[in-house]
Structures are given as structure tokens and as C-alpha cells.
């Protein structure tokens, strides 16, 4: 197939159900459900009195063992969802019959500079078209009936940079808006608006300035922003600010609200030596959908040194505040505060901490500007910072229930040690340019003795060290008063990686998945568990609900992945039963869910080959350093049940082909990119030498465990290091 038909796997041959919504049908028209992205449904057919009868209506396997994060959309009786890397599927919403599937032709080299797996967070549907952003940055408009490509456009403006696309497009009037990812690499963030009918470029707004030495900025807003950066900033690293998620169109104001990503590199002294707030990173930027000009901005984390993206999903609603009805945006981003902002002006109406926060002492209620705490200045030495880089909140959608007046969602109270390793920080093209090392507080006590003595001493002297020892982390689903930040109730989850999106309904239900494989239904008023269905698949995405043919359905995507995706927690269903990506759809009086089969018992790591002649301890140490600095560890966690191969368990044939795999792209069709533009043959050999050494140690350890009758996969230290 060629031209406009490329990528369409199957076309509907029978009559399409796209004939308009039937009376009584209730649609779910965007990943957020409604114009305000509240993830709330008015449906009450499924309620506390009958929810115990919930069972499987139908399911579809999506042909992947990688992350599924999207919330489906239901329009005109068709359920649309995106899958891994921007695949799109259309199903009859009542029967599950597949109508068509689309697979974009992805350049797998993009896996080199994707921080957090091959994620995609949804489609936009309007006027008989389905819009999706593929992982490599192409935006597609598909015919909603057939999946045929109507138009496509490359949204990446500079292919020399480590850019990708993982967020859902947003319909904003007569344009469709798409953001980009890459702030941990060397991206300069921006959002782009395209004509919905033709794909023609209408406007582009950069969220960080260009190097002022190269000439004038794109617009007056960037002229103002560049004054908040040192002219001698590390412009070669791109500056960051990528809006990889959290784009919301406000129909009342005509503004596109854009959440921007972290600054790059992390350390302010490295990034902008003379300081500055560094606009517009870690901000909400409001852009006129017609003109592309900024109306207002609010920077949630000035001088960001902690990876505090402002890209968590936003909710648009109305609240009575100080006796006035205000159009507000509710936002709980990574930085640990819960905000209510005026949608028309960006004024901070409320800002309250909801987890431990030590990067800021408070937020000035008049100006909205945080008072930064020097105790979190990583440029001055190692610091334990709360919240951690995964954030108090992240991409996992929360929900606002107008009946209870509460916000519901997953919350993480965890910190991490952050420090800048010694040595120069050259720009790595399309490589990690964070310039910092991270260790989560869950691992810090175990990891501390392995760190250099001076780092150990600095950590033990930090006031936050006592907090870490008393409570390294807490994760839960919460109901929160959005104006006070007060937790009304909370339900603990299995661990810090057990975070999932949330759906609420007018029946008083809170519905979410778990990494342990359950679809859970809670009482919205108390948090009491009403029912739980074991699916055998880890669930991270937010469920949605719709009614078609007089029946209410609940749908959710299930598969593990996302940030830190190779490190599958031992309590995850994906660890026990693999990671078969599925779309699961439930209804009252449905049937049982067929669980994926358990994975076979873990075997002792096979013996590695002998080291090549001339391999020394220095070569092995250099290979270890390259493994972490180049970025191998982001995909290969070296964990027994990792989604990606555990390179400590390589077979002889893999060892024999190591150079061809790494330098020549032997496994590129399977998603393993080639690295010959970054690594020389000697570098690849050094990495291989370290892996051979690691495999020998793992095998010896596992043989000893086997002899003692201990499980081979007993927990081991996993230090997330990205410098």
C-alpha cells in the first residue's frame, strides 16, 4: 500500500456504525471526557448498588508488550484508542468488533531519545477525523470511518535534536495543537497548531528562547523570556521546556493552556550561570488559539533544578472562591502544590502543598511566586529534594467530581537525592543532558554506602536525611479539597510505582486500575472499596465510560511502562504474567476476565563468554560509565523480568552479535536503534566487557541462591542514574 493508504492494516468492509449518536447514547469525546477534561461522567447506570455485578463485556489484544497510557474516546458508537508509539484502533463500542487499525511507519531510531517508553496518551476526534501524534513526531489526520490517512505533517522542526511526541493532540477551534517531548535530552520546547482540514502550519510557540547571540527572538513574549536567562546559558543543550502533555483548550476564553516541561540541564549554575527564573520552563502558558500569541503565563517552579514539569493534566471548571464564581484551571503538577488559577488571567487563587515539599518554603498568596529554599539548591552540593523527579503528580489523569466538589487522583510523597557528578558536561547530541545523578529515597539507605565518601558525608548532614529514614515514600489514591489542599480520604497503593489514572461518575464512584492488575471501584465519599476485578494485567491508564445501545460500559487500557519502565516492580502483574497489552471493556453482568498465563520460572543466568584479550578492570569500569551516561540503562534495567532484555542474561548468539546489534542496527526492526554515531567500536566493546562481568556475578549469585533454596529474583538495588 502506498501514498495516503500507508499504515492502514485493516479496513472496515461492513456498514460503519458512524451514523451519529443514537438517542440515549452518552459519548466520551476526548481523552479527558469533556471540554473541561474532568474525567467525570454523568452516567449512573452502574452505581454502588449494582457495581458488584461488573464483568468483562469484551477485550482486544493490541499486539504489544510496551506501555499503554491512553484513555479511549467514544464517538458515534465507535471506540477509538491509541496504542504504543501512536498506533490507532477503532472498535464497535458495543461488540468489540475491530473496524480498522492504523500503524504509523516509525523510525525506530527515535527510541534513542525517548525518555519514558513508546507511550502515547490518546487521540482527538472531530468532524469525521481522528488525529494522533506518532512517537517520531508525525501528526496524522485519519478518516474516522476507514483509518485512511487524510493528511500528515512532520512536527519536528530540528531533527538534529532529541525530540519525540507522546501526548494527545488537542482540538482548539479550527486548529489541532500538538506538543513535543525531549527536555531530558537536548530539545527546545514548543507547541504547534495546524489547520484541521489541511494540516497547514498556522502557528508555533516556543516555550524557551533561542540563543540571543543568533539574532532576535520569534516573538515579543520570548524577548521578555530571554531576559530571565543568562546570555551565556547552555543553549547548546536546548534549554528544555518541552510540552509533552497537558494541553487544554478553553472554549470560554479561546485560549490554549499549555503545561511546559523541565529546564535543561538540571543545575541552574550549569544551565544559566548568573541565575534567573528561566521562562517559560515549568509553567502554564495561555496562548490565543487564533493567533499563537501568549495571553498570560504562570511559572509554577522558577529556576527549576528538580525536573518539575508542569505537564500533569489540567482540569477546567468553575468554583466559588471568596464569594465569586471563577472560571478556574485546577492543576496538581510534579512540584507538590495543588493550584487553582483564574483561566482568564492566570492569577493564583489558591496554592497548597499536598505532599512533603522542601524546594520552596511557601508561595506568596499575593504574587503567586514561590519562596525558594536554598536547602534544595543542587548547584551547591548534593541535596535530598521533595518531591522526587517522578513528581507528586505526573501524567496519570486525576478527576474532578462537581457533585462532591473534590479532586481525585494518585499522589506520591517521595523524594530523591540529586547531585551533580564532577567533571565537564559536554553537549551530547540527542543524548541525556540532565547533568545530574538521581537516587530515590526508597533506595537511598541501601545505596548510600556505595557512593563516594564525600557524598555520603554530605547526605548524612542534610536535615531531610532524617525524614528519609522515617518515611522514604508513600503512595495513595486521594480525595482532595481543591481549594484547601486538605486530604478528605486516602487509600494506600501497593508502592510508589502503583499510580494510575482515575475516573469518577455521578453515581458516586471512583474507578482506577492498579499495577497489581486490579480494576478497583471506590466510594467517592469515603474511599471504601466497593468491588475489585483482577485482570492479570498492570493498569496505569485512566478508565473511561460511555453508554451505547442502552448499556453503560467502562473501558481501560492495560499494560505496564512509562517512566522507569524497565524496572518492573515485583508486585506488578506485568512481573508475574508478562505484559500483554489489552483493551478491557466492562459492563454489568459481564463475564470473568481471562488472566494471562503466569511467566515460566526464572532460570539461572547462562554462563557468559570469556573476556576478550586485553580487557582490564579499567576497561570494565569505562563500560559501566558509558552504559549509564550514554543512556543504555534507561531501556535496559538489567532486571530479571524487565520488559526489555536483561543484558546480564544474554545467550551466546547475542554475545557473538553484540557489535552488530549496537553499532550496525541488527535488531533495529525490533526497536533497538543503532549507536554508531555515538559509540566507537572500542566503546561498544567496553560496554560488552562490563556486561560480561555483570553476567558472571549474577550467575554466581543466582547459583548460590539456588543452592540455598532462595528465590532467584530476590530484590536487588536499582539506582536510577542518568548522568
Is 701 one of the annotated active-site residues of the chain? no
Comparing CA positions, the residue from 399, 411, 403 lying closest to residue 504 is: 399
Output the nine-digit C-alpha cell for 385.
529534594
Q: Which set of grid coordinates corresponds to residue 221?
A: 513574549
Q: Determine which one of 136, 143, 307, 498 is catalytic.
A: 307
* Nearest residue to 95 (alpha-carbon basis) of 57, 132, 129: 57
φ, ψ for residue 276, nearest 5 deg = 115, 155
* Contacts with 618 (C-beta within 8 Å, 6 or more apart), sequence order: none
Q: How many CA atoms lie within 13 A of 714 on its CB side?
A: 12
Contacts of residue 413, Cβ cutoff 8 Å, sequence gap at least 6: 355, 356, 386, 387, 392, 471, 473, 474, 475
Cβ 556 vs Cβ 541: under 8 Å: yes
Judged on CB neighbours under 10 Å (0-12, 13-18, 19+), 365 is exposed
Q: How far apart are CA 554 and CA 585, in angstroms?
A: 6
Q: How far is CA 663 from CA 109, 163, 629, 638, 660, in A?
A: 12, 21, 17, 20, 5
List all residues 6 or more positions away from 428 whose beta carbon is below 8 Å from its beta carbon: 186, 629, 630, 678
Grid coordinates given for 702: 543466582
Residue entry with cell 550549569: 270
C-alpha Rg value of the chain to the nearest Å: 25
Q: Is 339 in contact with 330 (CB distance < 8 Å)?
A: yes
CA 566 to chain centre: 14
Please state the φ and ψ torsions of residue 554, each to the nearest 5 degrees: -125, 125
H-run or E-run covering 618 = helix 617-630
Length of the chain: 723
Residues labelled as active-site residues: 307
Amino acid at each position: 500500500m502506498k501514498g495516503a493508504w500507508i499504515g492502514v492494516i485493516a479496513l472496515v468492509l461492513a456498514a460503519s456504525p458512524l451514523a451519529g449518536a443514537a438517542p440515549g447514547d452518552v459519548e466520551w469525546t476526548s481523552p479527558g471526557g469533556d471540554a473541561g477534561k474532568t474525567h467525570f461522567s454523568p452516567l449512573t447506570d452502574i452505581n454502588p448498588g449494582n457495581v458488584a455485578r461488573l464483568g468483562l463485556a469484551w477485550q482486544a489484544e493490541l499486539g504489544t508488550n510496551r506501555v499503554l497510557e491512553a484513555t479511549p474516546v467514544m464517538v458515534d458508537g465507535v471506540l477509538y484508542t491509541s496504542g504504543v508509539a501512536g498506533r490507532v484502533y477503532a472498535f464497535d463500542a458495543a461488540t468489540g468488533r475491530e473496524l480498522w487499525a492504523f500503524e504509523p511507519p516509525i523510525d525506530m531510531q527515535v527510541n534513542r531519545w525517548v525518555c519514558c517508553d513508546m507511550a502515547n496518551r490518546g487521540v482527538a476526534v472531530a468532524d469525521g477525523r481522528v488525529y494522533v501524534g506518532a512517537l517520531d513526531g508525525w501528526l496524522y489526520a485519519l478518516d474516522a470511518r476507514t483509518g485512511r490517512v487524510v493528511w500528515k505533517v512532520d512536527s519536528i522542526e530540528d531533527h538534529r535534536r532529541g525530540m519525540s511526541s507522546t501526548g494527545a493532540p488537542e482540538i482548539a477551534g479550527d486548529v489541532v495543537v500538538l506538543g513535543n517531548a525531549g527536555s531530558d535530552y537536548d530539545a527546545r520546547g514548543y507547541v504547534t497548531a495546524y489547520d484541521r482540514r489541511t494540516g497547514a502550519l498556522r502557528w508555533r510557540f516556543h516555550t524557551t528562547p533561542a540563543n540571543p547571540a543568533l539574532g532576535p527572538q520569534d516573538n515579543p513574549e520570548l524577548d521578555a523570556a530571554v531576559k530571565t536567562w543568562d546570555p551565556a546559558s547552555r543553549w547548546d543543550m536546548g534549554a528544555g521546556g518541552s510540552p509533552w502533555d497537558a494541553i487544554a483548550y478553553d472554549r470560554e476564553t479561546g485560549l490554549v493552556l499549555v503545561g511546559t516541561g523541565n529546564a535543561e540541564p538540571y543545575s541552574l549554575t550549569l544551565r544559566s550561570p548568573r541565575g534567573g527564573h528561566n521562562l517559560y520552563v515549568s509553567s502554564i502558558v495561555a496562548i490565543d488559539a487564533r493567533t499563537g500569541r501568549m495571553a498570560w503565563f504562570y511559572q509554577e517552579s522558577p529556576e527549576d533544578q528538580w525536573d518539575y514539569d508542569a505537564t500533569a493534566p489540567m482540569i477546567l471548571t468553575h468554583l466559588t472562591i471568596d464569594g465569586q464564581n471563577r472560571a478556574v484551571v485546577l492543576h496538581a503538577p510534579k512540584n507538590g502544590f495543588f493550584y487553582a488559577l483564574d483561566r482568564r488571567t492566570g492569577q493564583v487563587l489558591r496554592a497548597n502543598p499536598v505532599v512533603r515539599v522542601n524546594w520552596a518554603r511557601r508561595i506568596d498568596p499575593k504574587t503567586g511566586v514561590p519562596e525558594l529554599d536554598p536547602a534544595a539548591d543542587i548547584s551547591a552540593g548534593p541535596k535530598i529534594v521533595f518531591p522526587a523527579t517522578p513528581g507528586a503528580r505526573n501524567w496519570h489523569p486525576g478527576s474532578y467530581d462537581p457533585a462532591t466538589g473534590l479532586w481525585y487522583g494518585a499522589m506520591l510523597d517521595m523524594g530523591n537525592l540529586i547531585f551533580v557528578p564532577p567533571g565537564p558536561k559536554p553537549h551530547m547530541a540527542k543524548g541525556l543532558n540532565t547533568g545530574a545523578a538521581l537516587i530515590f529515597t526508597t533506595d537511598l539507605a541501601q545505596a548510600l554506602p556505595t557512593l563516594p565518601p564525600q557524598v555520603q558525608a554530605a547526605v548524612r548532614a542534610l536535615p531531610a536525611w532524617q525524614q528519609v529514614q522515617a518515611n522514604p515514600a508513600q503512595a495513595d489514591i486521594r480525595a482532595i479539597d481543591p481549594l484547601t489542599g486538605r486530604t478528605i480520604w486516602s487509600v494506600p497503593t501497593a508502592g510508589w510505582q502503583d499510580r494510575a489514572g482515575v475516573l469518577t461518575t455521578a453515581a458516586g464512584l471512583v474507578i482506577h486500575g492498579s499495577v497489581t492488575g486490579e480494576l478497583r471501584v471506590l466510594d467517592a465519599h469515603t474511599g471504601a472499596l466497593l468491588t475489585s476485578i483482577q485482570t492479570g494485567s498492570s493498569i496505569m491508564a485512566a478508565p473511561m465510560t460511555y453508554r451505547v445501545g442502552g448499556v453503560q460500559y467502562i473501558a481501560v487500557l492495560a499494560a505496564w511502562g512509562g517512566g522507569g519502565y524497565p524496572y518492573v516492580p515485583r508486585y506488578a502483574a506485568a512481573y508475574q504474567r508478562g505484559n500483554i497489552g489489552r483493551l478491557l471493556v466492562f459492563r454489568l453482568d459481564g463475564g470473568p476476565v481471562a488472566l494471562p498465563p503466569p511467566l515460566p520460572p526464572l532460570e539461572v543466568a547462562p554462563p557468559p563468554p570469556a573476556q576478550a584479550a586485553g580487557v582490564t578492570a579499567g576497561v570494565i569500569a569505562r563500560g559501566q560509565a558509558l552504559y549509564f551516561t550514554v543512556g543504555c540503562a534507561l531501556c535496559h534495567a538489567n532486571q530479571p523480568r524487565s520488559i526489555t532484555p536483561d543484558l546480564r542474561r544474554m545467550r551466546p548468539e547475542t554475545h557473538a552479535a553484540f557489535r552488530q546489534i549496537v553499532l550496525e542496527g541488527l535488531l533495529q526492526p525490533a526497536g533497538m536503534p543503532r549507536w554508531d554515531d555515538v559509540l566507537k567500536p572500542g566503546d561498544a566493546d567496553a560496554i560488552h566487557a562490563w556486561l560480561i562481568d555483570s553476567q558472571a556475578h549474577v550467575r554466581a549469585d543466582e547459583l548460590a541462591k539456588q543452592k540455598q533454596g532462595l528465590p532467584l529474583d530476590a530484590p536487588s538495588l536499582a539506582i536510577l542514574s542518568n548522568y
